[in-house]
Amino acid sequence: MEKIKINSISLALAHCDELNLRWIGQPDMLYQLLACWHVEQENDYPLNPRLTGKPGVGKTTLAYTAASMLNRPVYLFQATMDTRPEDLIITPVIGEGNSINYVASPLVSAMIKGGVCIIDEGNRMSEKAWASLAPLLDTRRYVESIIAGVKINAHPDFRVCVTMNEDSSTYELPEYIHSRLQPQIYIDFPDREEEMMILKYNLGAAPERALNYIVDFLQRSHAADERYTVRDGINIGRYALKIINSGYKSAILDKSEFKSGGELDAAIKSAVKMVIGIEGLIYCAQ
């Protein structure tokens, strides 16, 4: 683990995240995000965009893909309702001989290394957690750790964005944070062609008929304003393929459905019930 010293405090840095994520379709979304991070001149500073939309539409994938295009280390911080200010900045850890070691969060590690930090599901954090980031998200661009007694300035190359889900299990952002997380980039459901591209990328081994079945399922559910996303479609496809190829299909599948579409349709319907719930079957092909 890499260590640095700030004001005589030894600080262990987090490892960056190397993930196999790729944004597919809607290239304008990538360009919007990259434009937010662009710096015009010496006294300019990047914006702190927030990506909003329903769970599973690809917000984290979009952010990671854009960050990777900058050729800088990418760090993910998963926000939760229990996130504390010290979780966001520096955490003390008891070491050998009861010594105190200080560990930088992914956010602070990105600030020091000039990387990109993605704060995932940021609207799950409380106001107290957000308050610790207020000076980072304006022209000051620093954070302070009360625990370690240090102020950390962001590297000029540091960039940040926040993803936020549209669901009921989240907090309202305090206004002073809301104004610092601009602009808002809304990610909607992809169209049929884009959903097919995403499924092909993630389910390369799936038969074309299975891909069409799942895309049709998703498009029907979108038209009915359901919350099912392409992530659900990927999970349905993956589970359906596992049912067929794992050797357990005879014990899992309802053979009464074979007449209407064979084992592939039966496997997809079984996967829909397990991933979405029985209520999702109304959007399956009859």
| Amino acid symbol at 205 | A
Q: CA torsion 19→21→22→26, rounded to 10°?
A: -130
Lookup result for tokens 């919007």: 32
Per-residue model confidence (pLDDT) at position 169: 65
Q: What are phi and psi of 169, to 5 degrees?
A: -95, 45
Q: 237-277, pLDDT tens digit by residue?
A: 999 999 988 877 777 776 665 555 588 888 999 999 999 99
Fold topology of 3-186 = Rossmann fold (3.40.50)
Per-residue model confidence (pLDDT) at position 257: 55
Tokens linked to 9: 């405090």
Beta strand pairing status for 150-153 and 142-145? Answer: antiparallel
pTM tops 0.85, yes or no: yes
Per-residue model confidence (pLDDT) at position 47: 97
Lookup result for tokens 């030894």: 10
Q: What is the sign, positive or negative, of the torsion defined by CA atoms of 245, 249, 253, 259?
A: positive
Q: CA torsion 139→145→146→147, rounded to 10°?
A: 170
Q: What is the sign, positive or negative, of the torsion defined by CA atoms of 52, 53, 56, 59?
A: negative
Q: CA torsion 197→202→208→212, rounded to 10°?
A: -60
Return the domain boundaries, the chain. Answer: 3-186, 192-283
Tokens linked to 215: 């895309």
- 286 residues of the chain, pLDDT tens digit each: 798 898 888 899 999 999 999 999 889 999 999 999 999 888 899 999 999 998 889 999 999 999 999 999 999 999 999 999 999 999 988 877 777 889 999 999 999 999 999 999 999 999 999 999 999 999 999 999 998 889 999 999 999 999 998 876 677 888 999 999 999 999 999 999 999 999 999 998 899 999 999 999 999 999 999 989 999 999 999 999 999 888 777 777 766 655 555 888 889 999 999 999 999 999 998 6
